[in-house]
Chain A
Amino acid sequence: MSEVLTKSTARNIFYGGSLFFFVIFVGLTAHSRHYILTKGTDNAGLTESVERGKRVWERNACFDCHTLHGEGARFAPEVGDVFRRWGGEKDPAGAHQMIKDWMKAQPSGAQGRRQMPQFNLTEAQLDDLADYLAWVSRTNTQGWPPRPKAN
């Protein structure tokens, strides 16, 4: 083995190979970025309100309980598709209002149930957040999450 592969050969394979794979990776992410901004997401519909909503989501560390497109903590439900689950495709105004009402009604105080804090958001912040959740629900997530019909 020591004759077949010396330390310096191993080192050169490491440097050369890593560089090779890293260049491919950077190329693919550049392509993916283009795809995300043109096809994967509704980038044209990314209004200022949606962006402000994203900042509300970040500022209040919502991802430290909820998942969004499956990423974040698993303490609370997925919200990437909450707008659709709450009927936003047929009745966008209704789902928008439901999200705002939900936020205002927390914490529920129900015994034995996980509690969501009251974030005391303003009306404008609640509108932005609902717009943001509507926007993420339009992302092409390759069919994820699976939502089988309950029997």
Chain B
Amino acid sequence: MQYQTQNIAKTYWLGALLIFAVQVSFGLVGGLIYIAPNLLPVEYFPFNMVRMIHTNALIVWLLLGFFGAAYYLIPEESEREIWSPKLAYVQFAIFFLGGLSAVVGYLFHIYADNARSYLEQPVWIKLGIIVAALIFLLNISMTVLQGRKTAITNVLLLGLWGIAIFFLFSLYNPANTSEDKMFWWYVVHLWVEGTWELVMASVLAFLMLKITGVDREVIEKWLYIIIATALFSGILGTGHHYYWIGAPGYWQWIGSIFSSLEVVPFFGMMIFCFAMVWKGRRDHPNKAAMIWSLGCSVLAFFGAGVWGFLHTLHGINFYTHGTQVTAAHGHLAFYGAYVCLNLAIMTYAFPYLFNRAPYNQVLNIASFWITSAGVVFMTVSLTFAGALGTHLERVQGMSYMDAQDQIGLFYLLRFGGGVVTVLGALLFISSLLLMPRTKTVVTGAIPAAAE
């Protein structure tokens, strides 16, 4: 670790890991309610509360992870300390306590006016998030402006500004449901299929730069090309959410064409990561970080790219919209693109932050395979549930609950995948907290059949 203020990332990431554990645990509870609906009393564990915690905790910890990544990599890129460490800790306190109190509130069924999916937070917590975001942007913008400017910090900053700006639409909740839905996607879609991709691409570029030792000029050029394809496809790709909500019919064509192209940036990132690793001259000792980075690009390509394309054409989406196909895509896309990204940068940075290099990576690498296998199994189960459910309900005309009864087996399988995922996540967290020292570097850690 070259700069003292990179230590700020520690606080953010430990907070993120705690909420990560909450997120996956409530995912398991949700999966349990599907297979045993009478087990937990509905007065205390209604499904809506469980889902709210599962999704909100996910967003809170991923954002904490992004903030931590920014505090870790910006000093190295800008070649200077963070502008104000004190503000960084104030920001953490506001964001972490805000996120945590929202989640605890949900637990006691304290829901909010103007709640929408993923945006269930009470307005005072939304305002706290905005204040924290402003403090963050001020802090990192001052750092970047006073230091060396690189494409990586440039893109990261743009992505983080975009996240904050589009979040402002969460405060706009018109009475007309269709208009509400249209602007709701300004937050949700332009986050995960826009600004978050900028964060993802820049953090991956940083990791590739450090792990492979490939020339910065090459990496940064490809970074711009990849994010160009991300935004060119992703912005108008928002149209794939406007097919059936009361908006004009032309979105069926615009959405189909542009969102089909959303595969391109994810394909680009995958090829980029593998090409850089092949090209790289450096034999970096942190094999675990390399596996998470490559895994991130591959699983993002399948989850966000391929599984997104599966149901994005309007002729197909007409049948699959609002079925478990969406849930299947959502799980693998979030895991591949954003969970793996966070776990990759944490795996890369923790040994430096805790002064533990080289360390025994076996637990960490095992957690990658276990967690990823769990999520992939959940995704495949939900895809079957979705495809079969679509056929029974939307083609054969069976009622919703009758169709659901027919696909119970897949919910059971999904729960099994969920158990494996939680075990993998807990293993990952403990592997970072323990980080056993070792004298020998793990060799041959990347199995030949990496994909």
Contact = CB atoms under 8 A, between A and B. Distances in A.
Interface of A: 2, 5-7, 10-11, 13-14, 17-18, 21-22, 24-25, 28-29, 31-33, 35-37, 40-41, 43, 46, 50-51, 54-55, 58-65, 67-78, 107, 109, 111-118, 135-136, 139-151
A22 to B, nearest CB: 6
Given A22-B235, A28-B254, A67-B322, A61 B49 contact: yes
Given A40-B247, A148-B397, 7 more contacts: A33-B182, A36-B176, A41-B177, A50-B175, A70-B244, A114-B47, A141-B246
A141 B221 contact: no
Contact of A35 (B37, B218, B247, B318): B247
A143 B317 CA distance: 12
Given A74-B324, A139-B177, A7 B114 contact: no
Interface of B: 33-34, 37-38, 42-43, 46-49, 51-52, 111-117, 120, 151, 173, 175-182, 186, 217-218, 220-221, 224-225, 227-228, 231-232, 235-236, 238-239, 241-252, 254, 318-319, 321-324, 326-327, 394-401, 404
B47, B220, B238 pick with most chain A CB within 10 angstroms: B47
A151 B397 CA distance: 8
Nearest to A50: B175
A74 B51 contact: no
A10 B225 contact: yes
Contact of B42 (A5, A107, A151): A107
B246 A139 contact: yes
Given A63-B116, A67-B322, A114 B37 contact: yes
Given A10-B224, A139-B246, A144-B318, A115 B182 contact: no
B220 A7 contact: yes
A64 B33 CA distance: 14
B236 A25 contact: yes
A70 to B, nearest CB: 3
A59 B247 contact: no
B175 A54 contact: yes
Nearest to B247: A32
B195 to A, nearest CB: 11
26 contacts: A7-B221, A10-B225, A14-B225, A14-B228, A35-B247, A40-B248, A54-B175, A54-B180, A58-B114, A59-B112, A61-B111, A64-B49, A64-B51, A65-B47, A68-B177, A69-B177, A70-B244, A78-B322, A111-B38, A114-B33, A115-B46, A136-B177, A141-B244, A142-B249, A143-B318, A144-B244
B67 to A, nearest CB: 24
B282 to A, nearest CB: 21
